[in-house]
Amino acid sequence: MISLTFTYFLLAALTVFATIRASFYINELDKKTKLSGALLGGVLLAGVTSLPEFITSLTSTMRLDNPGMALGNVFGSNIFNLLILATVDLLFIKHLFFNNIRSGYASAKLIVFMYLIFFLPFLMVRLGLLELDAFGITAGISFSAVSLIIVGVYALNIKKTHEEITPRPGERSEYSLKAIVLRFSVFAFLMVVSSFFLTIVAENLSGELGLSASFAGAILLGVATSLPEFTALFALIKLQSYDIAIGNILGSNIFNMLIISAVDILNVDMDVFAAVSSASELFKNVFLLLILGLINSIMVVVALRRKPVRNKWLYAIPSAFIITTYLLYIVLSI
């Protein structure tokens, strides 16, 4: 138990370190090229910080045959990202973070829409209005129609982001373009390797602790793979880079949703959604994660859309609500 726990924290620390360094070189790429900083940060940086979730989710399904851990990892990472956002918001409440944001509303609405795409079929199965086989497209095709819809929505989001932003002249970087690409590749590879073994250790540790697969994915994997977002958000709010901070969190959550679809499509041996829905306890936990993620994403939309609030007690309500519901999830899942 002790050796497994030590290995888990060691791999988690390695994953965090590699992700932070890879993110740094994405920022250097922004300085070095004519690519838009918003596009690099909102899409590529979010993709980089979500790479651990992708690797761990792929490993959970294709190597460990454990789709519950994959869905728990992704949906757990999403709600943990919002917990990070809410916690840092309250820690720096004097900044009145949400009052100073000029972007992110469209991305927050997109996340709510993606949650509904995932949530409604699960709800219909829960109510007996949809058969498990209906998740798939036709007989002989293992992946779900839900996955194709999510991929389509994500593609439209990238297109819209590209159209709305204007490239700006980059700052100077002390590194050459070749050095940036090489160093980014090294740290990205390190993320892949550490994330792969982190998944295996997390499953073994969850067995030792007697945790369910989806709860282990949400806590053991979801927390560890979200630590880079926490580090970035903490630093950016201190620097008062509010729009970049919210863009990284929301962009990571959008990319995480795409991960589930990618895992479902790449895993030709099973329909991930049908596999999860057929296991009663697993289905219950994933369903709870979906409800929590949907509600808390709506709270972010409310925080972004409302008029500026100067009273700190009223201002804190959305973030306090997100923290409370996350703690409630842990209590209900133990």
For the chain, domain boundaries? 2-333
**What topology does CATH give the domain 2-333?**
A middle domain of Talin 1 (1.20.1420)
d(CA 162, CA 105): 16
- How deeply is 204 buried, as exposed, middle or buried, from its count of CB atoms within 10 A (0-12, 13-18, 19+)? middle
Res 212: pLDDT: 62
Q: What pLDDT score does 167 carry? A: 46
Residue 85: which of 233, 224, 218, 232 has the closest Cα? Answer: 233
203: Cα within 13 Å, side-chain hemisphere? 18
pLDDT, position 141 = 42
Q: Please tell me the pTM assigned to this model.
A: 0.74
Tokens, residue 172: 């100077």
Residues with pLDDT less than 50, the chain: 37, 134, 136-142, 164-170
Q: What's the CA gap between 327 and 31, in Å, rounded? A: 40
- Beta-ladder partners of 144: 136
pLDDT of residue 242: 77
Nearest to 15 by CA among 41, 54, 43: 54
Closest listed residue to residue 51, CA positions, set 73, 20, 19, 78: 19
pLDDT of residue 166: 44
